[in-house]
Structure 1
Amino acid sequence: MQRRHFAAAVAAATAGLATAGTATAAAHHPGSVPGGDGALLRTMLAALSDELDDRHTARALVPHLADIGFDWHPETAPLEKLDFIVAYDFGNRAPAGGGDPSKVLYEPGPVNEELAGTVARVRAKRDVPVYAQWEIARFLDSKYGMDRVVSIEPVIAPDGTITYLSTDGVAAQVVEARKQLPGGIGTAGVIGFRDHVKRCVLTTRDRGMTAYAPRGFAMPGTYDPESGQPWTRRRDLYLVTDMMAQWTMLQKKLITAAYPNG
């Protein structure tokens, strides 16, 4: 099905949806919405209106439900539009030598090796700097000998305790590094796991960067059943985790928009 702007699909399917709902959905990205010409959205609106006995609230919620629950594709851009690459990790493996995992780094794992391969394929077509979470950066160095790679490392306290960065924590580090450059931040090309990359793009944007996934490049999508992070071992578990994170992001935005002065 030809991709269309998500807000246009919402408008066609549910004319008169609440302004806050359509504005937030439109701000995310274009995406494919299942159900032909808005059939899914019409069904969702009717069902939720009946369930809540409140059509007004249903109109506000449907765009968010469709966006977070049914659209897993980020907005993309051609390579020539990208000024740098940001690569976010996915999962890991328990420390090979054992030890206290709070003070011994986890192993990068096979999924991050695949993500490094995706970075290498993009970099072969567009020679720009790379900011990669350390699990990916290790492979970019050891396997690909890639130059101009900034590794985003975990935070290690004086007592050796390791704090691993969240997706947002990585984005915060990248934007601070880019702010120091004479030409400004520029446009990010975001690499991430297939089910994570949409949120990676949104998180990168929330940190003040223009960001897209590189057009024409498939992202890795095979889960590692031995990952050290249980929520990244199976797709059904991860999608719930990612939706929860997207809802949290949206909640903060909607509250701020509704009550900017607190």
Structure 2
Amino acid sequence: MQRRDVVTALAAALAVPAALGTSPATAQEHPGHGPAPDELTRRMLAVLTAELDDRAAARSLVPHVHDVGFDWHPETAPLRKLDFLVAYGFGNRPPAGGGDPTKVRPEPGPVNEELADTVARIRRHRTIPVYAQWEIARFLESKYRMRHVISIEPVVAPDGTITYLSTDGVAAQVAKAREHLPGGVGTAGVVGFRDHIKRCVQTTRDRGMKAYAPQGHTMPHTYDPKSGQPWTRRRDLYLVHDMAAQWQVLREKLVTGAFPQG
């Protein structure tokens, strides 16, 4: 296949989701994790086969490329099936009073307030415990006076140095908090930024919990250009960041699965 043909095929593949009607407005109700559209996978397979000159390798890669690059929507479940909520933070604002950023907490910022608002809307329909990253928990406590909220705090060393938890770090703390409950861990309803929530659900599951996005609830999607985390200021930057994180996790799973003994 000539280079021009490869580019044309890839462009057509990228156009398929739009042709199928997938857009941010409709994406929240996407069932998630279904098979890729036949035409999309066919074109992706053709492009990769031509580029790699290896159909077997291309066939093994296509599902991963589709999952990481073309599917941004987690599986959902009705609120009645969820036993607790896990709310993952997104971005922040630099400390209002300045100071050493390694020892002074940032401001939670407007995106985390929107995430807290989302938790509050969900809780109006069902009162279940909430495990919230501290940036969200602060708003749940100050703005909503919400009860049954467990704040997932950063790790503070004896010298005051703050280590902020990753998405996986938050999930690990939640799993630890629920592992010895009499009724078992239960099923998590995940709240997260629109472009982050798929990975939030996957990470929660990777920590041994059943997890879904609450069905019928739209997640915040407006980026904060003043965020203290540069990769969360613009969508084009964040999507690359999130895909890189997904690939890193997938790499570890595939290598461990292929060679469990190292």
TM-score (norm 1): 0.87
Structure 2 stretches of 5 or more lacking a match?
1-30
Secondary structure of 2:137's counterpart equals: helix
Matches within 5 A, 1:32-181: 33=36, 37-181=37-181
Between the two proteins, the alignment pairs up a number of residues equal to 232
Shift of 1:142: 0.3
Deviations 1:139-181 (A, max 9, x none): 0000001000000000110000000000000000000000121
Q: How far apart in 2 are the matches of 1:247 and 1:126?
A: 35
Secondary structure of 2:188's counterpart equals: strand
Q: How far apart in 1 are the matches of 2:33 and 2:66?
A: 12
Structure 1 contact 31–71 (Cα < 8 Å) conserved: no
Secondary structure of 1:255's counterpart equals: helix
Deviations 1:96-131 (A, max 9, x none): 011111100000000000000000011111110000
Task: Tell me what 1:30 maps to.
Answer: 33
Q: How far apart in 2 are the matches of 1:72 and 1:151?
A: 27
What one-letter code is carried by the residue in structure 2 that aligns with 1:85?
L
Q: How far apart in 2 are the matches of 1:86 and 1:32?
A: 27
Q: How far apart in 1 are the matches of 2:34 and 2:112?
A: 26
Structure 1 contact 31–74 (Cα < 8 Å) conserved: no
What one-letter code is carried by the residue in structure 2 that aligns with 1:67?
D
Shift of 1:38: 1.6
Moved more, 37-46 or 240-249: 37-46
What one-letter code is carried by the residue in structure 2 that aligns with 1:240?
V
RMSD (CA atoms): 1.2
4+ long deviations beyond 4 Å: none
Structure 1 stretches of 5 or more lacking a match?
1-27
Q: How far apart in 1 are the matches of 2:171 and 2:234?
A: 25
Secondary structure of 2:211's counterpart equals: strand
Q: Percent identity?
A: 73
Q: Is 2:195 the counterpart of 1:195?
A: yes
Secondary structure of 1:106's counterpart equals: coil
Q: How far apart in 1 are the matches of 2:47 and 2:72?
A: 22
Structure 1 contact 116–136 (Cα < 8 Å) conserved: yes
Task: Tell me what 1:185 maps to.
Answer: 185
Structure 2 contact 32–71 (Cα < 8 Å) conserved: no
Q: How far apart in 1 are the matches of 2:223 and 2:135?
A: 16
Shift of 1:32: 7.8
What one-letter code is carried by the residue in structure 1 that aligns with 2:157?
A
